[in-house]
Structure 1
Amino acid sequence: MTVEFKIANRSIHPEQLLSCLAGYQMLPNLVQAILVDDAIAQIVCTEDEKAAACQQFYTQNQLEEEAARQAWLNQYGMTPEQLEALATRELRIEKFKQETWGGKLESYFLQRKSSLDKVIYSLIRVKDPGIARELYFRISEGEQPLSELARDYSQGVEAQTDGLIGPVELSVPHPVLAQILASSQPGDLAPPTQVGEWVVLVRLERFMPAQLDDAMRSRLLHECFQTWLNEQLAQVDLHAIQHPPTVSVAP
């Protein structure tokens, strides 16, 4: 007997469900969730960790009362076991991240550090090379401060902040600017440099080296996890999931 379920005036057969998910752009999210749940299936939490995670989830979602939890289960068609799995999911993901990449984090940080360092810098950008040279000499000779000239001449949004930008990570500015800033000392004013359609003057004001603190550890663990997840997703053929090969049965 073929089982179907009805939503509004539409009857949906089980074999149509994947097509529906794909049509509503929900299939990639389902596949991603399954990949993650498969990865964390063997992650063990203590009873105390489970209790704390569940309590936090209940508090965040106003589910402290049994009636509220039952209404939640009815609303989402979940079992109590599924609710507990959902409540502890983030904890198990964090434990998976730590177990998988925690021991490699220092070397990964060193690989990424050059783009994680932050800078504060001053910028003037114009389109006329002659004006750029004139401004460079005025600043170099101390005739006018860069902030004043940026306010009067710069053609970007930095004119509103007297040319000052940052703090930003070195991965944010244009690669040419980033290279100049990375090799400068605070106070160094680089000569006029062509960057795309602009001629720029840039001066490093402050260099702020990245630190492997708790916040950075959490960020880098998430980066590693997201890279892994993207690689897993890339190996999944969503079309094949929707259209599995038919198997013919000999009479």
Structure 2
Amino acid sequence: MRMAKSETNNSNGKDEKSHLVAIADSNIEPTTLQIGNSAVGNGAGNQAVNGRDLVTLLKQYELLPKLQEEMIIERSIAPFDCTPKEQMECCLEFGKQRQLNSEKARKKWLQEQGMTEAQFINLATRELRIEKFKQATWSKNLENYFLQRKSELDEYVYSLIRVRDGAFAKELYLRLQTGEETFTELAKQYSEGPEAKTGGLIGPVPLSLSHPKLAQLLQTSQPGELSVPSAIEDIWVIVRVEKIIPAQFDEQMQQKLLDELFDNWLKEQLKKPSALQLIAS
């Protein structure tokens, strides 16, 4: 979202937000904000940014929630270390993604970001330490969580016709029942959504991505069964399940569930009033 997911996104915005964590952990004086190669607060002609001003700026640029999020994550992954080999691989990958192809380029980037070597290593290994935190926190109960969610994770291929007129939907349903025309023909001609381009065919998609009422229709239908017209808000739909693809507890699914549990956990942490306290001095 992730998100407090990967810090490997090669965008200025992401680097800037990540730098906030580095500032929070550095030895920079509380009344000094380091930006690029200049220090705001000490030089002639510079504007001092005290704690109160910093909080105001963070709110103004909508960075306060991001800072809060990053600090929660940093605190949670603090107990997790990387081996020297993992550390080296993470630093190499981090530099590669930012095109830091030489020691000179890397040092220049560090200077621009206002980072020390230790902060660089901390940032480069952050994604791996987040993954270690996820594994340590949720991996033991992951299969049970999968079984609880399985009905929502199964993927469906289905055909859909949607129209705004209920009476017309019933007419189309009768024409399908008699075999007068195929689902594909009627969907192409009459369906009022993007599925008209595919002859009504949609998927494979998990139920979690569908409208709750549509998901219920799909879940209670057997493959090949034609549902009677049903109203979903101001639309009438006719649905036929073509295929159900059961979710598998494979490596890809496990990562998806770990990410989901982590995101849910982080949202809960952010709701806590004591999650972040900034003292404006």
Normalised to the residue count of structure 1, the TM-score between the two structures is 0.89
| Alignment check: 8 A CA contact 2:50 2:280 kept | no
Q: Distance in 2 between matches of 1:226 and 1:131?
A: 43
Q: Which residue number in structure 2 is paired with residue 172 of structure 1?
A: 209
Q: Which residue number in structure 1 is paired with residue 135 of structure 2?
A: 98
Aligned identity (percent) is 47
CA apart distance, 1:174:
2.0
Q: Distance in 2 between matches of 1:146 and 1:229?
A: 44
SS at the partner of 1:185? coil
CA apart distance, 1:86:
0.7
Which ranges of structure 1 fall in alignment gaps of 5 or more residues?
245-251
Q: Distance in 1 between matches of 2:215 and 2:223?
A: 14
Partner residue of 2:120 out of 75, 80, 83: 83
Structure 1 stretches of 4+ moved >6 Å: none
Residue 138, structure 1, aligned to residue 169, structure 2: no
Taking only aligned residues, the RMSD between alpha carbons, in angstroms, comes to: 2.2
Partner residue of 1:214 out of 230, 251, 260: 251
CA apart distance, 1:169:
1.1
Write the deviation string for residues 23-72 of structure 1: whole angstroms up to 9, x where unpaired.
22112211211111111111021111111111211222222421111101
Residue 155, structure 1, aligned to residue 186, structure 2: no
Which ranges of structure 2 fall in alignment gaps of 5 or more residues?
1-29, 33-39
CA apart distance, 1:182:
1.0
Q: Which residue number in structure 2 is paired with residue 13 of structure 1?
A: 49
Q: Distance in 2 between matches of 1:62 and 1:133?
A: 60
CA apart distance, 1:235:
1.0
| Alignment check: 8 A CA contact 1:117 1:209 kept | yes
| Alignment check: 8 A CA contact 1:19 1:242 kept | no
Write the deviation string for residues 106-144 of structure 1: whole angstroms up to 9, x where unpaired.
111112211111111111122333322222122112111
SS at the partner of 1:32? helix
CA apart distance, 1:157:
2.2
Partner residue of 2:59 out of 2, 11, 22: 22
Q: Distance in 2 between matches of 1:42 and 1:237?
A: 21
| Alignment check: 8 A CA contact 1:121 1:205 kept | yes
Bigger CA radius of gyration: 1
Q: Which residue number in structure 1 is paired with residue 11 of structure 2?
A: none
In structure 2, the CA distance between the partners of 1:46 and 1:157, relative to structure 1 (3 Å rule), is same
Residue 125, structure 1, aligned to residue 125, structure 2: no
Normalised to the residue count of structure 2, the TM-score between the two structures is 0.80
